[in-house]
Structure 1
């Protein structure tokens, strides 16, 4: 029996090693597509492998630590304290999520799918107010309270299964680290005159990638910087930018410096991506129970992440499961414009 255990354990470890090696290779290939000049560096794959592995392990640990996907529905609002905290009313759950064009696109592309798994990103706001609270047997009406609200709900990254969604999150976050490195390269002041042109091209490339929803902005559901009508135009500009960067000949020294910068960022992911846990006890009005005052409610543990793309702003995020039957028709532009009519 022990021989079989060792044999199966060895095979399992081998499969895991093969899978990890494939993910490292795939990540390096995506990096090379983002910065084509890296292919000119000697042994660039071998030189990036260790740092890429570090980032993948770090990000995968964060993703594995995330709670299971929660059902996002009006009925779940009644029983799930997380969904009740995220949305003001039961009716708001399907209405808000139905504004996500990515969910409509997913169900349009997968007509047989009954549900979709997605990353729900939200802005969290805390406000100080005064209200009634009770400590032991004494009620006071002038107690300073803290209320929590969630807004700007976004669901821009979705998948058919929770496992697939988690892998997509890992990929997006590692891509974000590469964008951080690209930005650092673009900001580097160099004595070489030709790098001034490179810097401008890098900044343009970075802006285009961010507009297309690369990196953490897509994972956390941040407001995209462009409308979907512009995506095709931006893709054409990105291809034009690729050709210009390929035409620009860079010295070996500059290429090696770029590779070293990317390896440095990927080798220290915790310095650039911050995910924190925060435990809150909230009542049914999203008032935080604190300072010894008794309030009926439930304790939830939030995940908050900072986004380099928005100067370190923190957004709450959670994995959710959303059913096709709860998807409302996509709001038309006319409906949206009526909101602003007086």
Structure 2
């Protein structure tokens, strides 16, 4: 969710206010949701007879899909100094305690939320934590029985490019915000397709007008100048014009029906925009994958990765961050400050 869709999705997460309830796309009023989707894509869709009936089923099914998707995300983990030692996920996701505190403290959303809600007795925030998972092969040492083997190929896993979205007081509010943002992402994707359709139509008409104008000009010149080169140019332009008309015969201007079809295409297959996949890993404390039946101590991690359109997958988890671990502004510096 196409770079526009991808950025639109993450931006909708970033810019959702913590106190913003998901009022626009409500499960208890499907018809209002249909009208909101039409407003968000192409209001001309209302000119199509029966558009409400056409959209009700696909939009309702898309809401069910986003609900199931959010329900698949495991429960929130506490990300703190204490859990860095006790929680294998926190230990794997961050380099050290300073790393995790800096990442959360540099988030303008987290900082604004915790600082503004501190007076209301909120002691932590729950947010969506996203990361890039990377793997590489290195040469290391491995103990086989009583023998220490050197330069053994080992697969290491690391997590980087941490992003934090949509902080809220509770896990349920974060999940509700995520449901809304996933649905908004579908609207953004549909709008992108409708916009591209209209743009293609305008560009096609502009190209036709340009070629027709050029042909008229060349034919006018040819009537005055009997020139073989000019005659060939006239013929070439005429062929271009005929080819363009043939290739786009019957397409015409993008119609309300065309826009409706684009919306149906997106909401009818929400899994093509966003989907989740599960990844199982066995990692030791050094971030090295433990393969096979090795008896080496390790932690089994069950990760959830989100894939938006064809973009690289990102590990996602819900994370609770304590307010008392937020670093002072004076202690936070360097790249990514309050991003």
Aligned residues between the structures: 264
- Is 1:254 aligned to 2:255, yes or no? yes
Tell me the equivalent position of 2:334: 336
Tell me the equivalent position of 2:64: 57
Offset at residue 32 of structure 1 (A):
3.2
Tell me the equivalent position of 1:315: 314
Alignment of 1:62-211 (within 5 A): 62-110=69-117, 111-112=119-120, 113-136=122-145, 138-188=147-197, 192-193=201-202
Aligned in 2, Cα 1:271/1:96: closer, same or farther, shift over 3 Å?
same
Q: Is the 2:101–2:325 contact (alpha carbons within 8 Å) kept by the matching residues of 1?
A: yes
Q: TM-score, normalising length from structure 2?
A: 0.69
Offset at residue 25 of structure 1 (A):
4.5
Aligned in 2, Cα 1:337/1:293: closer, same or farther, shift over 3 Å?
closer
Which one scores higher on RCO, CA 8 angstroms, separation ≥ 6?
2
Aligned in 2, Cα 1:301/1:40: closer, same or farther, shift over 3 Å?
same
User: Separation in 1 of the partners of 2:44 and 2:145?
Assistant: 66
Offset at residue 263 of structure 1 (A):
1.6
- Is 1:326 aligned to 2:332, yes or no? no
Question: What is the SS of the residue equivalent to 2:106?
Answer: coil
User: Separation in 2 of the partners of 1:152 and 1:330?
Assistant: 21
Tell me the equivalent position of 2:216: none
Question: What is the SS of the residue equivalent to 1:313?
Answer: coil
Structure 1 residues 232-257: Cα deviation after superposition (integer angstroms, max 9, x where no partner)? xxxxxxxxxxxxxxxxxxx9961221
Offset at residue 166 of structure 1 (A):
0.9
Question: What is the SS of the residue equivalent to 1:177?
Answer: helix
Offset at residue 169 of structure 1 (A):
0.8
Q: TM-score, normalising length from structure 1?
A: 0.69
Aligned in 2, Cα 1:337/1:71: closer, same or farther, shift over 3 Å?
closer
Q: Is the 1:101–1:330 contact (alpha carbons within 8 Å) kept by the matching residues of 2?
A: no
Question: What is the SS of the residue equivalent to 2:274?
Answer: coil
Offset at residue 192 of structure 1 (A):
4.5
Q: Is the 2:141–2:148 contact (alpha carbons within 8 Å) kept by the matching residues of 1?
A: yes
User: Separation in 2 of the partners of 1:330 and 1:267?
Assistant: 46
Structure 1 residues 72-105: Cα deviation after superposition (integer angstroms, max 9, x where no partner)? 1011111000011100112222221111111112
Q: Note the residue ranges of structure 1 that are not aligned, 5 or more in a row.
A: 1-18, 198-250
Q: Is the 1:134–1:294 contact (alpha carbons within 8 Å) kept by the matching residues of 2?
A: no
- Is 1:269 aligned to 2:270, yes or no? yes
Tell me the equivalent position of 1:32: 38
Offset at residue 286 of structure 1 (A):
0.9
Structure 1 residues 100-130: Cα deviation after superposition (integer angstroms, max 9, x where no partner)? 1111121244231211110001111111101
